[in-house]
Structure 1
Amino acid sequence: MSIRPTRSIFLLVNLLFISLGLNAQVLTLNNAVETALTNYASIKAKNNYLNASKATVQQSKKEYLPNFNLSAQQDYGTVNGQNGPLYGLGLSVASSGLPLPKQNWNAAFGALYLTNVNWDFFAFGRARERINVSQSIVTRDESDLAQEQFQHSIRVAAAYLNLLAAQRLTQSWQNNLERANGLKNVVVTRAKNGLIPGVDSSLANAEVSNAKISITQARDFEQEQANTLARLMGVTDQQFVLDTMFITKMPRSLSDSVYKTESHPLLQYYANRIAVSNQQAKYFQTLGMPTFTAFGVFQGRGAGFSSSYATDQHAYTQNYFEGIKPVRANYLIGIGATWNMTGILRTRQQVLAQNFISNALKEEYNLADQQIKNQLLLSENKIRNATLNFQEAPVQVKSASDAYLQKSVLYKNGLSNIVDVTQSLYILTRAETNRDIALSNLWQALLLKAAAAGDFNIFMNQ
């Protein structure tokens, strides 16, 4: 004998699910956005780029400091000299000795201790412009981080609304399945009693099967939206309990407002890109100017060769400590200037190229500005259309619900056919679906307006 579940068992199961739902933590939109801004990899990357730019500013400031070099060397070798012209191309030794009549291989220890200070104290603002370039890059990277955070907040909010709408659609198709099962039970009972043709039960079974397929498709779509939200939040959990305010409550204000697109985070970023390019052009102009340098050198030197070595080739010692001991010292201070005259020709073209880059960046700014203004106009139209649809949705649901109730009652009394009932069932499901997405579309339109205006608070303050 089979045991059929009683009504009390179903009630107990329902209460259990309700209690689990109440204990689940609701993910609010604020929490979703905050989690995303903390976890998302692209935002972390831009934070690191910003920190690198800030470090570059400090490095640029320290480049103006004098160079202070310490050098020490201890050698062992010969000191044969030779008269003749040479050019300081490198890869040669600097042995110090008089030209002798013939080669010898006398070798001793020697040493050189050197302190050098040089400072490019004036270069027509080159150091200052380098610092200005670094600071403008910091400003650009700060605005890049801000616009990335803004755009990601918009993406997370859109994914949140999409998932919420998908959950509501799943619930609507669940309701449709329950109605189809209820209709099937009525049809099967009447068909068994010979009150209606058996084909009606086949049509009812087909409607139930179609409802099951539809709810599976709805769940698949819901899972895709949950996956998108989880990816944008930088988490792996894809079971979300969302705040239903966005499908039960209208925004407080939908009035048209005038917004200045210049304050949009994306346009701020584009403007700062132009500023960096212009600052680089100013820096390049200084590269063709002279550089004035102050310098100072103090040198100590030791050698194992005696001052009389030129006349007596035996006057040297191979004692290590005698050779490295400094016995002569020299100092030198001075001011010099260097100017590569042909550098002006090169820097002129470099500045010209940078100016072209600035013009290109300005055109990109104009394009983005035009797109944002068009998006703002589009958002206003979408808000008006979504408001009209939201106002019509309850009327459609009420009419479709009344029609389904009428057709189902008539069918139970043998005054209608199964086709009329399934048609009214389809119309009711469509009406409920339109109702579920109507308010979501209104919030989506408001989110589009916030994205176009560059102010996320337009959406969040509602």
Structure 2
Amino acid sequence: MHNSSISSFIIFLTLLGGREIPAQVLTLNNAVETGLNNYASIKAKNNYLSASKATVLQSKKEYLPNLNLSAQQDYGTVNGQNGPLYGLGLSVASSGLPLPQQNWNSAFGALYLTNVNWDFFAFGRARERINVSQMAVNRDESDLEQEKFQHCIRVAAAYLNLLAAQRLTRTWQNNLERAAALKTVVVTRAKNGLIPGVDSSLANAEVSNAKISITQARDFEQEQANNLARLMGITDQQFQLDTLFFTRMPQSLADSAFKTQNHPLLKYYANRIAVSDQQAKYFHTLGMPTFSLFGVFQGRGAGFSSTYASDQHAYTQNYFEGIKPVRANYLLGIGATWNMTSILRVRQQVAAQSFISNALKEEYNLADQQLKNQLILSENKIRNAFTNYQEAPVQVKSASDAYLQKSVLYKNGLSNIVDLTQALYILNRAETNRDIAVTNLWQAILLKAAAAGDFGVFLKQ
């Protein structure tokens, strides 16, 4: 996700599961660790990193001399002809004097060749190629780290969402129990003629609504469990989570100064720029000359005699005589090659790579700006969530007292079913708001950790 926004840190991603884990209390740390070990994208980036490291070794070995061994055994004629030729396309290298006329005398021949060629100096081309490979390793390492960091945020967000869903399910279960208890009271009083029969119908409707609501809550809970299981790379979706998050508030909500340049995502973007800059340096060396050392040792055999030019019968078709090396030559030399027109091509290649570096720098600046804005937003969300967190118990207490009062009044015939069901609805809404307020507070802390680039900001709470 090279160009994704920071908000994607808390989006639920999906991945088909792998192995199962035992059914027990699942802590946040265990969920994160399991996700880091199982998630396929992290495994993929590990393989990319291993490939980059192998490329570094390959680049270092590119500087070694080329050693070529060649052997061939042939059968054919040796007719020669005076005339100019250019080495274009395929041709044979039969060696023989030009004879007055064509003949079809054939014999065996052989060529054994050892060639060493070493480009020992090319103005740092080999060194720059190695540097490019090493920069790619740094880039892939930072890519792996930022993927791990983002996945920690994803798993933590999914964990909190599932915890909130389980809490909401319990709240709706409490609402169903209150509605069922109310129904029992209403039906009994209606049968005894103390209240109108329509009250029992309203009570039945309220119970039915509570059942539908709890089914919807369970469906949402199952969806969140599925998200968490996929992010953890497992198939078991029955989780018993640590409810510590609902028993206390974060330890510290004070604003903290964070430097975004230490963010794993920005480190990855910075390493992408470094790779591009290094590639530009490497491309620049492609326009420079190459100095080479070379050496050749050659052995040759032929079924044609040295007197064949004057006696066309002086040859043998014996295979072993033809392939036996009878002449040898060696050659040592130093040379330089420089394609002068490559300078024009390389200049444009370097310019193109410089534009790519500039584009990567702009992407870095964009990500940095998004992170800074996200950090400011997270601080605002923390303050707002903390305000709601403090207000939620007041709402629950007031709604609970109102429901108790309306319930007592109704049982004594001093209130009606509409007022009582309204109080029931307000109490359920208050309990739901309380659960959401707690979750939003922890989610705001997690958002701050995502923007700061430090998952420890969340874990320390």
Matched, 1:134 2:148: no
Specify the code of the residue in structure 1 equivalent to 2:287.
G
Which residue pairs with 2:449 in the alignment? 450
Change (3 A) 1:43 1:24: closer
Aligned to 1:118: 117
Query: Which runs of no fewer than 5 residues in structure 1 stay unpaired?
Result: 1-22
State how many pairs are aligned.
440
CA deviations on 1:371-390 (whole Å, 9 max, x unpaired) are 00000000000000111111
User: Can you give the 5+ residue segments of structure 2 that lack an aligned partner in the other structure?
Assistant: 1-21
Deviation of the 1:231 alpha carbon: 1.1
The residue that corresponds to 1:225 in the other structure is 224
SS in 2 for 1:296: strand
Counterpart Cα distance in 1 of 2:314 and 2:75: 16
* 1:91-146 deviation per Cα after TM superposition (whole angstroms, max 9, x unaligned): 10000100000000000010000000000000000000000000000000000010
Letter in 1 for 2:191: K
The C-alpha deviation readout for 1:328-377, integer Å capped at 9, x for no partner, is 00000000000000000000000000000000000000000000000000
- 1:29-428 equivalences in 2 (<5 Å): 29-428=28-427
Whole-Å separation in 1 of the counterparts to 2:170 and 2:69? 78
AA aligned opposite 1:87: Y
State the shift of 1:247 in Å.
Answer: 1.6
Inter-partner Cα distance in structure 2 for 1:100 and 1:451: 86
1: CA distance, partners of 2:42 / 2:377: 28
Q: Deviations over 1:56-100 (max 9, x none)?
A: 000000000000011111111100000000011231000010000
2-side partners of 1:184 and 1:257: how far apart? 52
Contact map agreement 2:23 2:238 (CA 8 A) in 1: no
C-alpha distance in 2, partners of 1:245/1:92?
83
Deviation at 1:24, TM superposition (A): 4.8
8 Å CA contact retained: 1:78, 1:108: yes
Describe the SS at the equivalent of 2:404: helix
The alignment's TM-score, normalised by the length of structure 2, stands at: 0.95
Per-residue Cα deviation, 1:122-180 (whole angstroms, up to 9, x for no partner): 00000000000000000000000100110111011000000000000000000000000
Distance 1:127 1:88 in 2: 30
2:11 maps to which residue?
none
Secondary structure of the corresponding residue to residue 113 of structure 1: strand
Q: Give the secondary-structure state (helix, strand or coil) at the position aligned to 1:288.
A: coil
Q: Contact conserved, 1:78 with 1:105, CA < 8 A, in 2?
A: yes
CA separation in 2, counterparts of 1:202 and 1:399?
Answer: 28
Confirm or deny: 8 A CA contact 1:68 1:115 kept in the other structure.
yes
* Distance (Å, rounded) in 2 between the aligned partners of 1:50 and 1:249: 41
Q: TM-score, normalised by structure 1?
A: 0.94
Alpha carbons 2:80, 2:96 under 8 Å: kept: yes
Structure 1 position 182, deviation (Å): 0.3
Q: Which amino acid aligns with 2:330?
A: Y
8 Å contact 2:60–2:130 — kept in the other structure? yes
Q: Find the residue that maps to 2:376 and give its secondary structure.
A: helix
Whole-Å Cα distance in 1 between the matches of residues 119 and 391 of structure 2? 76
Q: CA deviation at 1:460?
A: 1.0
**Residue type of the partner of 2:447?**
L
Per the TM alignment, residue 203 of structure 1 is displaced from its structure 2 partner at its CA by 0.6
Question: RCO higher in 1 or 2 (8 Å CA, sep ≥ 6)?
Answer: 2
The one-letter amino acid paired with 2:418 is: V
Give the letter for the 2:171 counterpart.
Answer: S
Counterpart Cα distance in 2 of 1:374 and 1:176: 40
Deviations 1:193-219 (A, max 9, x none): 111111111110110011001001101
Distance in 2 separating the partners of 1:84 and 1:166: 90
**8 Å CA contact 1:302, 1:326 repeated in 2:** yes
Question: AA paired with 2:95?
Answer: S
Q: What's the CA shift string for 1:253-302, capped at 9, x where partnerless?
A: 11111000000000000001000000000000000000000000000000
The root-mean-square deviation of aligned C-alpha atoms, in Å, is 0.8
The answer as to whether partners of 1:168 and 1:436 remain within 8 angstroms in 2 is yes
Give the Cα–Cα distance (whole angstroms) in 1 for the partners of residues 196 and 441 of structure 2: 46
Verify the 8 A CA contact 2:409 2:415 in the aligned structure 1: yes
